[in-house]
Amino acid sequence: EVQLVESGGRLVRPGGSLRLSCAASGFTFSSYWMHWVRQAPGKGLVWVSRINPDGGSTTYADSVKGRFIISRDNAKKTLSLQMNSLRAEDTAVYYCLPLGVTIFGVGHWGQGTLVTVSS
Amino acid sequence: QSALTQPRSVSGSPGQSVTISCTGTSSNVGGYDYVSWYQQHPGKAPKLVIYDVTRRPSGVPDRFSGSKSGNTASLTISGLQAEDEADYYCCSYGGSYWVFGGGTELTVL
């Protein structure tokens, strides 16, 4: 069974840092591009970042470029998002997933992890 | 990286068909056949219903279909059912980024 389990979300003050993790299982993690997508409360989905299968290529949305760093550990089947200089507008549920593709014929999303940036 | 344009809301009666449009540019929707659609019910994680413009994941009813013409992609849901009432988001690859639409609320009357 494919599972994506995000963790690390919590309340953090503006300007603070946070590291999110995503534990993947049930598929060949090292074969897939992986993404972070976020959704602010009551708002739509927003793409945040992606990383290629071997971790050598990363891309970011303009809104997080220079503040967030995506990484992966294929041996541990883990995706991470280091979030620095956090702002109120970064408040959202963060999802990790192989965006736009299927695994075993089905799309997969985790349950997400909530990041709240507030003083 | 501007968001793709979707109608804020659409509606239809049970059994009818509805189409949700998703307009981008030649740099994303028009330039690649990597448009996907996601269904999201309140309080739930999104669910993939269409990928690669027209492909349907296993378990998604064939009432859901996707298409593209130029810079506009479309999701058509035929034979509307009550459980189709949800928010729908399109998403496209843009070469060095991915971008979502703002979302469309589907109401089944």
Q: How far is CA A101 from the centre of its chain?
A: 16
Q: How many angstroms separate the CA atoms of B9 and B87, rounded?
A: 9
Contact between chains at A111 and B93 (C-beta distance less than 8 A): no
Residue A6 near residue A112, CB atoms below 8 Å: yes
Chain B residues in contact with A109 by the CB 8 A cut-off are: 45-48
How confident is the model over A7-55, as pLDDT tens digits? 999 999 999 999 999 999 999 999 999 999 999 999 999 999 999 999 9
What's the confidence (pLDDT) of residue B1? 72
Contact between chains at B98 and A50 (C-beta distance less than 8 A): yes
Chain B residues in contact with A110 by the CB 8 A cut-off are: 45
Q: Is A18 helix (H, G, I), strand (E, B) or coil?
A: strand
| CA geometry: angle B98, B102, B89, nearest 5 deg | 70
Chain B residues in contact with A22 by the CB 8 A cut-off are: none
How confident is the model over A71-109, as pLDDT tens digits? 999 999 999 999 999 999 999 999 999 998 899 989 999
Strands (E), A17-102: 18-25, 34-39, 45-51, 58-60, 68-73, 78-83, 92-97
A-B C-beta contacts closer than 8 Å: 68
Residues of chain B with pLDDT under 50: none
What's the confidence (pLDDT) of residue B96? 87
Burial group, residue B63, by CB count within 10 angstroms (0-12, 13-18, 19+): middle
For B21-44, b/e burial (b = at least 16 CB within 10 A) is bbbbeebbbbebebbbbbbbeeee
Q: Which residues of A touch B (CB under 8 A)?
A: 35, 37, 44-47, 50, 59, 61-62, 95, 99-102, 104-112
What's the confidence (pLDDT) of residue A86? 98
Between β-strands A11-12 and A113-117, what pairing exists: parallel, antiparallel or unpaired?
parallel
Q: How many angstroms separate the CA atoms of A88 and A35, rounded?
A: 22
Chain B residues in contact with A105 by the CB 8 A cut-off are: 57-59
Residue A8 near residue A114, CB atoms below 8 Å: no
- Tokens 């659609």 appear where? B37
Contact between chains at A59 and B102 (C-beta distance less than 8 A): no
What's the confidence (pLDDT) of residue B80? 97
Contact between chains at A100 and B103 (C-beta distance less than 8 A): no
Q: Encoding tokens for residue A13?
A: 């003050």
Q: How many angstroms separate the CA atoms of A19 and A81, rounded?
A: 6
Contact between chains at B45 and A111 (C-beta distance less than 8 A): yes
Q: Is A77 helix (H, G, I), strand (E, B) or coil?
A: coil
Contact between chains at A47 and B46 (C-beta distance less than 8 A): no
Tell me how close the Cα of B107 comes to any Cα of chain A, in angstroms: 17
Tell me how close the Cα of B57 comes to any Cα of chain A, in angstroms: 5
- DSSP of chain B: -PPBB--SEEEE-TT--EEEEEE--TTTTTT-S-EEEEEE-TTS--EEEEBTTTB--TTS-TTEEEEEETTEEEEEE-S--GGG-EEEEEEEE-SS-EEEB--EEEEE-
What's the confidence (pLDDT) of residue A100? 87
Tell me how close the Cα of A43 comes to any Cα of chain B, in angstroms: 8
